[in-house]
Amino acid sequence: VARAAAAQRAWAAAAPADRARLLRRFAAVVDGHVEELALLEVSEAGHTIGNARWEAGNVRDLLEFAAGGVERLSGRQIPVAGGIDVTFLEPLGVIGVIAPWNFPMPIAAWGLAPALAAGNAVILKPAETTPLTALRLAELALEAGIPEHLFQVLPGHGDTAGDALVEHPGVAKIVFTGSTRVGKQIMAKCADRVKRVTLELGGKSPNIVFADADLEAAAAAAPMSFLDNSGQDCCARTRILVQRSAYDRFLELVAPAVQAVAVGDPLDDKTQMGPLISRVQLDRVRSFVTDDLTAVRGSAPEGPGFWYPPTLVTGAAPTDPVAREEVFGPVAVVLPFEDEEEAVRLANATEYGLSGSLWTRDIGRALRVSRAVAAGNLSVNSHSSVRYWTPFGGYKQSGLGRELGPDALTAFTETKNVFISTEA
């Protein structure tokens, strides 16, 4: 932390154009190593190669995007009597980024890129199970000419390495992505020092299908909206709410679509879904899908590996754990609703509020329901993935603060107001 703080002071004092240029160079070096980084993620986390390439490319894009913000991080000039009043967006100092194992590269970059661009140093604590791409990114940063100690990686366990960053008085802000349970503990500890904190936590996102929707399109899109990354995705649309008058037809359409998902070798370009990350995660997923539940199941390879088939649970009550808790595996529930009012009520009947989708041809309804669902990221007639240039974050217990988007850099600054008298 002391070394990061020293590097940060020099970094913040450098010309904005020089900082931007170094971040663009870092982006270019990442771009030259997309394949290597992707293969590392396949071997470490079992991501499909297509996803892993996208993830490494996302790091590059975030660095480019953030680099474009360095010279645009302007304060304001506010009218006052007797002088001028200006604001400065000053860097916070050393930022601790604590990342989860489900999307190691993108989530590291969501913190890393805008924090560096705003003039901060970053210490990244990757998840225990996925340190390799983080360590490689730190090497690539040095290769690109990013000053030594400005971006450091501290691998280790959460309650040791992660907690050390949370407790350290020299770390100005914690950016945490992970479980709601750990996020609450971190927020409580940060409160002690009024340390800044951004939290990206869990989700149990709805996918609301109205009877007036293009049912073929809704059914075709539903499987990968909860199966991408084997469902280890905080935005996974795992509660499929279907208007009762279209329920049977939707199931007829979605069941074969779930069964058609290609599950297998992550290195095969045609594979859509790979294994789960670990034995622990596999056991956790299994515990949710009890024998009394009716389900549509896809296929998964036999033999070694943490395989679980795509699973659509049709017989659950809204109060069952599988319908309420975050499974973080390839499992979704389908639940019927009568009308728009009930759809909104069911969608909001959760402590989470990260994402959601709704399918309808009625534009008024699309807007009403988008406004009524208490979640940070909604998509209409699609399951849009996270875009680095639009804001992302959760309502309720899905998080605190926003990342990405036009204000990404501002989250890593403190606003200082200065009044200068013209009468002295």
Closest alpha carbon to 343 in 372, 383, 367: 372
Piece of the chain touching ligand NAD by CB under 6 A; list 14-22, 65-73, 122-130, 408-416: 122-130
Instruction: Between 28 and 187, name the residue whose CB sits nearer to ligand NAD.
Output: 187
Q: Note the helical H segments in 32-179.
A: 34-45, 49-70, 104-117, 132-144, 163-167
How is residue 67 written in tokens? 């680099």
- The single residue among 186, 242, 258, 369 that binds ligand NAD, judged by CB under 6 A, is 186
Instruction: Between 19 and 125, name the residue whose CB sits nearer to ligand NAD.
Output: 125
- The single residue among 119, 202, 223, 356 that binds ligand NAD, judged by CB under 6 A, is 202
Instruction: Between 130 and 314, name the residue whose CB sits nearer to ligand NAD.
Output: 130
User: Which residues are registered as beta bridge partners of 209?
Assistant: 242, 359
- The single residue among 26, 65, 101, 359 that binds ligand NAD, judged by CB under 6 A, is 101
Per-residue b or e along 119-147, where b marks 16 or more CB atoms closer than 10 Å to that residue's CB:
bbbbbbbbbebbbbbbebbbebbeebebb
Q: Considering 41, 64, 234, 235, which one is annotated as catalytic? A: 234
Piece of the chain touching ligand NAD by CB under 6 A; list 54-62, 196-204, 214-222, 299-307: 196-204
Shortest separation between residue 313's beta carbon and ligand NAD, angstroms: 19
Q: Which of residues 59-98 bind ligand NAD (CB under 6 A)?
A: 98
Binding of residue 234 to ligand NAD (CB under 6 A): yes
Plot region of 145 (φ>0 → left; ψ -120 to 50 → alpha; else → beta): left
Instruction: Tell me how crowded residue 346 is: count the other CB atoms within 10 A of its CB.
Output: 18
Angle at 307 between CA 41 and CA 281, to 5 degrees: 75
Binding of residue 277 to ligand NAD (CB under 6 A): no
Size of the site for ligand NAD (CB under 6 A): 33
Residue 341 is among the residues annotated as catalytic for this protein: no
Closest alpha carbon to 403 in 70, 115, 52, 184: 115
Instruction: Between 28 and 400, name the residue whose CB sits nearer to ligand NAD.
Output: 400
Element (H, E) at 220: helix 215-227
- Give the per-residue contact string, 290-329, with ligand NAD (x = CB under 6 A; - = no): ------------------------------------x-x-
Q: Considering 41, 55, 64, 200, which one is annotated as catalytic? A: 200
Binding of residue 131 to ligand NAD (CB under 6 A): no
Binding of residue 375 to ligand NAD (CB under 6 A): no
Shortest separation between residue 163's beta carbon and ligand NAD, angstroms: 4
Residue 200 is among the residues annotated as catalytic for this protein: yes
Question: Angle 34-45/104-117 helices, nearest 10 degrees?
Answer: 130
Closest alpha carbon to 332 in 187, 228, 217: 228
Residue 386 C-beta-side C-alpha neighbours within 13 Å: 28
Residue 28, amino acid: A
Name the site residues for ligand NAD (rule: CB under 6 A). Answer: 98-103, 107, 125, 127-128, 157-159, 162-163, 166, 177-179, 182, 185-186, 200-203, 234, 326, 328, 354, 394, 398-399
Catalytic residue numbers? 200, 234
